[in-house]
C-alpha cells in the first residue's frame, strides 16, 4: 500500500519508520529545512533527533506530488494543523481515505477532528483516527505498541487496521470514532493535572485517585457526545490515559510538572519546544462541558491554572474541598 504521512513532526517521522518495512511510504514536510535535513542526513534533527529514516522512505515538500497516487493519507500535524491540511486536500479534490493521529478539540470551534474533516471534505469522506497509548519515540524504536483505529466506515476501519498492523505495532479496529477521539483529547488535560500533582509531591495515592476520577470525566463527556462506554475501558481510553499521566515522555505531564514550580505558561511552552495539545484542549473541554452540563471538575481546574486564575496548589485545595458524592452516580 502507498501511504503518505502529511506532517514531518515526531509522529509523522515515527510512523514513517514504523510503516517503511511493509509499505511504500512518503513523508511530506511543510518546513523546507526539515525536508532538506531528512533528504541529506535521513534524520529529523529539528523535531525528532536520533532516529534514522529508512532509505525506502521518500521525502517531499511538494504537497500535490506527495498526495497524488497515495492509497492512504495519514495526517500527522497537531490539531491546529488539521483544518489547513484538509483544506489543501479539498482544493485538490482529493478522494483518498484519511487517518489522523492528532488528539484534541479544535481551538475556537470546539470540534473533534472528524467534525473538522467532514466539514471541509463533506459527509462522504472515508476517515478515521489512529489513537492509543503510544509515544512516538517508542514506536520509532520498535517497542511493542497497541493502538485503536476508529473510522466513520467500519469496513474501512477493519481493513486499514489489518493493512497497517505490523509485528511491533498492533492495531485494533474500533467502531466508536467519537469515543476514541474524546479519550485521546481529554487524557492530555488530565496528564497536565497529574504532572502538577506529582510536581507538588502529593504522592501515589493522589495520582491514582486523579487518574481514576479523570477517567470518569472522560466517560461522562464522551457519553454526552454519543460515544460508547466500553471504549473508555480500552486502549484509546484507560490505556492512553495511564500512559500519558505516568510516562516521562509525556509533554502534557511535563507541562504539569512545570506548573507545580509556578513557572509561567509562556516559559513552559518555550522550554518544551513542542506542542502540548492539552494546553489548548483544556479550555475547549471546559467550555464544552459547561455547555453540555457535564461535571468535569478536574478539567475545569486545569483550565483555571492554565488561564492563571489558580495556582496548581490552589486547584488541588479546591478539588479536595468539594462536597462528598457517590462514586458511580
Phi, psi of 146 (to 5 degrees): -130, 130
Q: How many CB atoms lie within 10 A of CB 327?
A: 8
Instruction: Give the Cα separation of 36 and 41 in Å (integer).
Output: 8
Query: 260: which 3 cell numbers?
Result: 507545580
Phi, psi of 223 (to 5 degrees): -65, -35
Are the C-beta atoms of residues 79 and 103 closer than 8 Å to each other?
yes
The β-bridge partners of 72 are 3
Instruction: Give the Cα separation of 4 and 42 in Å (integer).
Output: 17
| SS3 assignment, position 202 | coil
Instruction: Give the Cα separation of 38 and 32 in Å (integer).
Output: 10
> If you ran DSSP here, which 8-state letter would residue 112 be given?
-
Q: Distance from CA of residue 201 to its chain's centroid?
A: 27
Phi, psi of 107 (to 5 degrees): -65, 135
Residues with a catalytic annotation lie at 187
| SS3 assignment, position 76 | coil
Are the C-beta atoms of residues 73 and 13 closer than 8 Å to each other?
no
H or E segment at 218?
helix 203-224
> If you ran DSSP here, which 8-state letter would residue 174 be given?
E
Q: Distance from CA of residue 120 to its chain's centroid?
A: 20
Amino acid at each position: 500500500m502507498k501511504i503518505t504521512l502529511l506532517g514531518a513532526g515526531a509522529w509523522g517521522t515515527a510512523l514513517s519508520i514504523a510503516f517503511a518495512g511493509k509499505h511504500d511510504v512518503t513523508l511530506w514536510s511543510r518546513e523546507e529545512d526539515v525536508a532538506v535535513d531528512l533528504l541529506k542526513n535521513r534524520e529529523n534533527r529539528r523535531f525528532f533527533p536520533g532516529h534514522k529514516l529508512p532509505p525506502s522512505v521518500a521525502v517531499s515538500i511538494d504537497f500535490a506530488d506527495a498526495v497524488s497516487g497515495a492509497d492512504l493519507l495519514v495526517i500527522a500535524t497537531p490539531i491546529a494543523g488539521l483544518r489547513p491540511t484538509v483544506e489543501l486536500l479539498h482544493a485538490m479534490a482529493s478522494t483518498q481515505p484519511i487517518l489522523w493521529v492528532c488528539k484534541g478539540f479544535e481551538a475556537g470551534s470546539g470540534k473533534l477532528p472528524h467534525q473538522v474533516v467532514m466539514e471541509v471534505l463533506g459527509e462522504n469522506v472515508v476517515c478515521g483516527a489512529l489513537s492509543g497509548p503510544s509515544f512516538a519515540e517508542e514506536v520509532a524504536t520498535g517497542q511493542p505498541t497497541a493502538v485503536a483505529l476508529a473510522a466513520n466506515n467500519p469496513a474501512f476501519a477493519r481493513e486499514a487496521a489489518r493493512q497497517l498492523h505490523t509485528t511491533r505495532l498492533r492495531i485494533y479496529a474500533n467502531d466508536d470514532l467519537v469515543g476514541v477521539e474524546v479519550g485521546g483529547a481529554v487524557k492530555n488535560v488530565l496528564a497536565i493535572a497529574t504532572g502538577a500533582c506529582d510536581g507538588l509531591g502529593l504522592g501515589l495515592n493522589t495520582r491514582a485517585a486523579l487518574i481514576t476520577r479523570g477517567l470518569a470525566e472522560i466517560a461522562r463527556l464522551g457519553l454526552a457526545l454519543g460515544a460508547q462506554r466500553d471504549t473508555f475501558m480500552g486502549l484509546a481510553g484507560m490505556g492512553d490515559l495511564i500512559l500519558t499521566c505516568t510516562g516521562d515522555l509525556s509533554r502534557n505531564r511535563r507541562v504539569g510538572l512545570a506548573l507545580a514550580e509556578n513557572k509561567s505558561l509562556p516559559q513552559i511552552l518555550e522550554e518544551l519546544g513542542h506542542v502540548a495539545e492539552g494546553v489548548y484542549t483544556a479550555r475547549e473541554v471546559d467550555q464544552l462541558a459547561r455547555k453540555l452540563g457535564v461535571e468535569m471538575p478536574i478539567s475545569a481546574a486545569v483550565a483555571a491554572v492554565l488561564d492563571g486564575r489558580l495556582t496548581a496548589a490552589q486547584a488541588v485545595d479546591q478539588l479536595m474541598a468539594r462536597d462528598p458524592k457517590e462514586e458511580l452516580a
